[in-house]
Amino acid sequence: MRLKRTPLLASIVALVAVGGVLNRTAYPIWVSNYSPRVDADISGLQADQLLIALAGFREMVAGILWVRADTFFDEGNYDAILPIIRVVTMLDPKQIDVYATGMWHIAYNFTDEQNRSDRRYIPSALALGSEGARNNDYTYELFFETGWLWYHKIDDDYDNAVDWWEQATERKDMQVARKNILAMAYLRAGKFDEAIDHYEGLLANAQAELKKNPNEFANRQNVDTLEGNLDNLLVRLAQRGNFAIKGGYYDQWSYDTRPPYDVGFSAQVTVEDSKVLRVEGTWGVQPVGTRVRIVLRDRDYASGRPAAMVWARSNQVDLDPEKNVTFMQDGLFVKNQAFFRRVDMSRDPTMYPFSSDNYVVEFYYNPRSGPPHIQDRFGYSGEGLTDKNYLNTEVREGQRVIFASLELTRDQLLRQGEWSTKVPIVRTKGYVATGSRQTDEVINVPGLRNEPEPTE
C-alpha cells in the first residue's frame, strides 16, 4: 500500500509552519540567555576557529590562546597580542578579563619612543569595551572599565564616564568602594548636585550597613570615607563659589575663585629637525605640576574638533587604527611658570606618518582635568581662570578654558623643500621667551594667590 502524498505534504507544510513559529519564539530567548555572545559577530573567525566554535571548545581554546598571549606580553611582542585578543573575545565572549586587559593594552601600551601612547587605537579600545559590556551585561566590570578609559585615558568628555559608571552602579555586583568614583566623574562633568546626591545616597546605605553590623571594620571605614568625601565636596563647592553661582549671588561675596587669575599663556613651536619639535612657553601659575595638553594632528582629521576628538566612533571592533593619519598628544609639564618639551616623532614613522599636507598644533587647558588644589583657585568650570589672549568659552560649552591653535605644513614638519635650510618657528600672540626658567634645577613655590611674576 502506497502512502498518500497530498495529505503528507500538507502535514509537512503545516508542521514546518508551526516549527517556524516555535523557532521564532525560542531563538531570541536562547540568544539572550544561552548564546555566548549577544551580538553574534563571528565574521572575524577563520575556518578552523569556526570549527572549534562549532565543536564546543570555545572556552578551552580561548583559554589556551590567552596563555599564549601572556607569553607575548612577557616578550614585549605587543602587536602579536592584538589578533589573539580578538579571537579570544570571539570564541569566549564571557572572558571578562580578556576584554578588560585587551582594552587597557590597546589604549595604553602602543607607545612611541617617548612613551606617548598611540591614541588612534582609542576608538578600538572603546568598541571592545562596549562589546564586552553588551556580552556581559550582568556584571558591572566592563561598564566600569570602559568608564575608566573615558575618565583616565581620554581624560575629557566626562559625560561619557558618567554614563558608563551610572550603568556600572546599577549592577548588583558593583563593589561598594568603587561606587564613590561616580561622584568624581559627576564633578568633572560639572554635575555638582548629582555628585552630592550620589554621596548622600552612598552614605545612607553605608550607615544602614553599619547599623546592621556595627562591629564590622569595613562598614565603619566606609562611613568615615564617605563622610570625609562629602564634607570635602561641600566645603570646596562653598569656597569655590559654586553654591553662590547657583544662587545668583556670586558677585556679592568673596570666593577663592574671585577675581579670575590671568595665567599668562603663550607658546612657541620650533621644528628643530625633521619631525622633532621644541615646544616652550609660559604659564603663570606658580604651583608645580600643571600639565598643558598639546596635540599635533592632521588639520583635516575626520574625527578632529577644536580642542577635542570624537573618540567613540563605532560599536564595531576594528583593531587596525587609521594608519595614514597623525595624532600626537602630550602633556607640557609646568615648572617655574614655564614649560619646555622636546617632542621627537622621528623614530616612530608608523605612529606619525605625516601623510597629510597641513597640521594643527593645539594647546588646551581645562581646570576640570586639574588636581583639586588648582581647581580651588580656577573653579570647576574656570570661573577663576582668565587669559588676555587665549581664554575660550566656546570649545567647551559653559566652561572657561585656555585654547590656542597654531598651524604647520608637512614641508615645515619634515624640514623639506624651502624649509630644508630655514628653521620653522610658529608662536602664539604675545609669546614671552622663557629663558632657562623651565630647565632650572631650583623650583620656586610661592602661594597661588600672589600676583604673577613680571614676565621676561
Q: What is the closest distance, in whole angstroms, from the C-beta atom of residue 310 to another protein in the complex? A: 23
Q: Concatenated DSSP letters for 150-185?
A: IIIII---HHHHHHHHHHHHHSTT--TGGGGHHHHH
Nearer to another protein, 63 or 424 (CB): 63
Q: What is the closest distance, in whole angstroms, from the C-beta atom of residue 72 to another protein in the complex? A: 13
Q: How far apart are CA 410 and CA 296, in angstroms?
A: 12
Nearer to another protein, 134 or 220 (CB): 134
Footprint of another protein (CB under 8 A)? 1-3, 5, 8-9, 11-12, 15-16, 18-20, 22-27, 29-31, 33-36, 40, 42-43, 50, 53-60, 62-64, 66-67, 70, 92, 94-95, 97, 138
Q: What is the closest distance, in whole angstroms, from the C-beta atom of residue 139 to another protein in the complex? A: 9
Nearer to another protein, 18 or 423 (CB): 18
Beta strand 266-273 with 276-282 is: antiparallel
Q: What is the closest distance, in whole angstroms, from the C-beta atom of residue 84 to another protein in the complex? A: 11
Q: What is the closest distance, in whole angstroms, from the C-beta atom of residue 41 to another protein in the complex? A: 8
Q: What is the closest distance, in whole angstroms, from the C-beta atom of residue 124 to another protein in the complex? A: 22
Nearer to another protein, 85 or 244 (CB): 85
Q: How far apart are CA 335 and CA 444, in angstroms?
A: 8
Nearer to another protein, 43 or 421 (CB): 43
Q: How far apart are CA 314 and CA 147, in angstroms?
A: 16
Q: How far apart are CA 161 and CA 390, in angstroms?
A: 28
Torsion of CA 130, 135, 136, 138, to 10 degrees: 110
Q: What is the closest distance, in whole angstroms, from the C-beta atom of residue 327 to another protein in the complex? A: 31
Q: How far apart are CA 351 and CA 113, in angstroms?
A: 10
Beta strand 391-392 with 308-309 is: unpaired
Q: Quick one: how many helices (H) and strands (E) in the chain?
A: 14, 13
Nearer to another protein, 22 or 288 (CB): 22
Which three cell numbers, joined as nine digits, stand for 99? 576584554
Nearer to another protein, 34 or 253 (CB): 34
Query: At residue 337, what are phi and psi to the nearest 5 degrees?
Result: 65, 25
